[in-house]
A and B are shown apart, each in its own frame.
Chain A
């Protein structure tokens, strides 16, 4: 959290995650280069390396883009989310290796600066089949670099979560550029149907998953109508499991109402760290715990326990006839509000 920064705060879970990732990468590259040199002996090792790292980066980007919606659809995928940034950095490194080898292979034999050559050697923008696809890959790589370079919590803190999130949303632009890079590049020469089919299935998977998760999300947390005193009925008391929350959409923002120790408190649903959905987390050691990265907040104040300094807005809650009512006016982040106490009477109604 915000107390101090380390390059990487290693834990067992992160080690297992990263070891699995590195192992998978090594196996993939070994298989690709080994099988490639056996099946196509006339292909040079440079070409095999270019293709192995290029396909690896493309595959990893599909995985990165699938994790978010998968977690929205099923919380069992949440462990994949914890170190998604490590996956993103590896994706960039694989893409950069592909780019550097391609640069040496195709652009260092002339008398023009190799990077200038990438951007100027092909100007056939009027032809799809001969389109200058390499600049598309270079642009995608630049975006992946920007994201990898700012992936650490230090930059998240410096830029603020909304700016950081907006910056990292560029991953979709990078994905679009890479599909175009692959389609207008290698798929123009490799015309065997399986190559196009693999790219098409990957694209359908990523886009379909995002659309399904978004569509399902849309149906949840519909905005409620306020009563005369401004309070909005959210749900029944018994609809909230102990040490869990119910999410409601109030004044356009999402509010998480937590039930714990016979009390109810409402806070913003947005974690200060990476805007994770706090309402999908639970109360651990008396604190609301974000399901994404474990950031914690006191449910009554919305403040992280010392020495951490993150704060989130709080909302007034009351219980009437076993129904939970929340006022949509947020209080300043970190403001202590009395929780609504659940007596046996209020719970019964």
Chain B
């Protein structure tokens, strides 16, 4: 009555005893070292890292659990001659944030179609991102976008190159 079961059990144990260690060893041997990237890919770090003097005073946007400080700075290497220096002070472990620039006066819940990608924001230090050619005179808005949530986290008007812009405001769903 129980003999076939015992036989099946024996076969099962032998099979597990052979196959499982082989899979385990093969899996370990197939491991590849995790790639280490010294910085963001070039497409996410457009020219603009060389920083000149501040063009306008820093603007601060308060978020739910932190703050975002943006300073317009001169940047000879960027297309517009300007860059934004972005300091983030928020809880670590956030999903990746992207910074955009748009000429729009207001930004809703979704990213404007004409927004220019400036680059990704890292947690470490100040992020210097060059502004595109249309931003030569300053102005427009800086938009912080969260791709994984597909939402605009915050937007902040940028000052004119001469330094005359309004204060920041959080996005629709900070």
Task: Give the interface of A toward B (CB within 8 A).
Answer: 41-44, 109, 127-129, 162, 165-166, 169, 172-173, 175-176, 179-180, 183-184, 187-189, 191, 196, 199-200, 203, 207, 210-211, 214, 252-254, 268, 270, 275
User: Is there contact, CB below 8 Å, between B2 and A200?
Assistant: no
B43 within 8 A of A: no
User: Is there contact, CB below 8 Å, between A200 and B24?
Assistant: yes
User: Is there contact, CB below 8 Å, between B27 and A187?
Assistant: yes
User: Is there contact, CB below 8 Å, between A172 and B12?
Assistant: yes
Contacts of B20 in A (CB 8 A): 175-176, 179-180, 203, 207
Contacts of B12 in A (CB 8 A): 169, 172-173
Q: How distant is A210 from chain B, measured CB to nearest CB, in Å?
A: 5
Contacts of A175 in B (CB 8 A): 16, 20
Chain B residue nearest to A176 in the complex (CB): B20
Contacts of A180 in B (CB 8 A): 20, 23-24, 27
Checking A42, A129, A203 against B92 with a beta-carbon cut-off of 8 angstroms, the contacting residue is A42
Contacts of A184 in B (CB 8 A): 23, 27
When A109-B148, A253-B2 are in contact, do A183 and B19 touch as well, CB less than 8 Å? no
User: Is there contact, CB below 8 Å, between A207 and B16?
Assistant: yes
Q: List 26 A-B contacts (CB under 8 A).
A: A42-B92, A42-B93, A162-B5, A166-B5, A166-B8, A169-B9, A169-B12, A176-B16, A180-B24, A183-B23, A183-B24, A187-B27, A187-B31, A188-B31, A188-B32, A189-B34, A191-B31, A191-B34, A203-B20, A207-B16, A207-B20, A207-B21, A210-B13, A210-B16, A253-B3, A275-B2
B37 within 8 A of A: no
User: Is there contact, CB below 8 Å, between B31 and A129?
Assistant: yes
Write the B18-62 contact mask toward A (1 if CB under 8 angstroms, else 0).
011101101110111110000000000000000000000000000
Whole-angstrom distance between the alpha carbons of A200 and B20 in the complex? 10
User: Is there contact, CB below 8 Å, between A252 and B3?
Assistant: yes
Contacts of B1 in A (CB 8 A): 162, 253, 268, 270
When A175-B16, A207-B20 are in contact, do A183 and B27 touch as well, CB less than 8 Å? yes
Contacts of B5 in A (CB 8 A): 162, 165-166, 169, 275
**Interface SS of chain B: helix, strand, loop or mixed?**
helix
B67 within 8 A of A: no
Q: How distant is A68 from chain B, measured CB to nearest CB, in Å?
A: 10
User: Is there contact, CB below 8 Å, between B28 and A210?
Assistant: no
Q: How distant is B93 from chain A, measured CB to nearest CB, in Å?
A: 4
Whole-angstrom distance between the alpha carbons of A169 and B9 in the complex? 7
Whole-angstrom distance between the alpha carbons of A173 and B30 in the complex? 23
Whole-angstrom distance between the alpha carbons of A42 and B19 in the complex? 37
User: Is there contact, CB below 8 Å, between B17 and A179?
Assistant: no
Interface size class of B (residues with CB under 8 A): 20 to 34
User: Is there contact, CB below 8 Å, between B19 and A41?
Assistant: no
Q: How distant is B3 from chain A, measured CB to nearest CB, in Å?
A: 5
Contacts of A252 in B (CB 8 A): 3
User: Is there contact, CB below 8 Å, between A172 and B16?
Assistant: yes
Chain A residue nearest to B18 in the complex (CB): A207
Q: How distant is A213 from chain B, measured CB to nearest CB, in Å?
A: 9
User: Is there contact, CB below 8 Å, between B28 and A176?
Assistant: no
Whole-angstrom distance between the alpha carbons of A180 and B23 in the complex? 6
Whole-angstrom distance between the alpha carbons of A213 and B19 in the complex? 19
Contacts of A172 in B (CB 8 A): 12-13, 15-16
Q: How distant is B34 from chain A, measured CB to nearest CB, in Å?
A: 7
When A41-B93, A210-B17 are in contact, do A187 and B28 touch as well, CB less than 8 Å? yes
Whole-angstrom distance between the alpha carbons of A179 and B27 in the complex? 10
Whole-angstrom distance between the alpha carbons of A169 and B10 in the complex? 11
Contacts of B10 in A (CB 8 A): 214
Whole-angstrom distance between the alpha carbons of A161 and B27 in the complex? 37
User: Is there contact, CB below 8 Å, between B27 and A43?
Assistant: no
Checking B9, B15, B27 against A128 with a beta-carbon cut-off of 8 angstroms, the contacting residue is B27
Q: How distant is A202 from chain B, measured CB to nearest CB, in Å?
A: 10
| Interface of chain B residues 79 through 136 with chain A (CB within 8 A) | 92-93
Whole-angstrom distance between the alpha carbons of A176 and B24 in the complex? 10
Chain B residue nearest to A312 in the complex (CB): B1
User: Is there contact, CB below 8 Å, between A203 and B27?
Assistant: no
User: Is there contact, CB below 8 Å, between B30 and A128?
Assistant: yes
Contacts of A44 in B (CB 8 A): 93
Q: How distant is B65 from chain A, measured CB to nearest CB, in Å?
A: 14
Contacts of A200 in B (CB 8 A): 24
Q: How distant is A276 from chain B, measured CB to nearest CB, in Å?
A: 10
When A44-B93, A109-B148, A129-B31 are in contact, do A207 and B3 touch as well, CB less than 8 Å? no
Whole-angstrom distance between the alpha carbons of A166 and B148 in the complex? 45
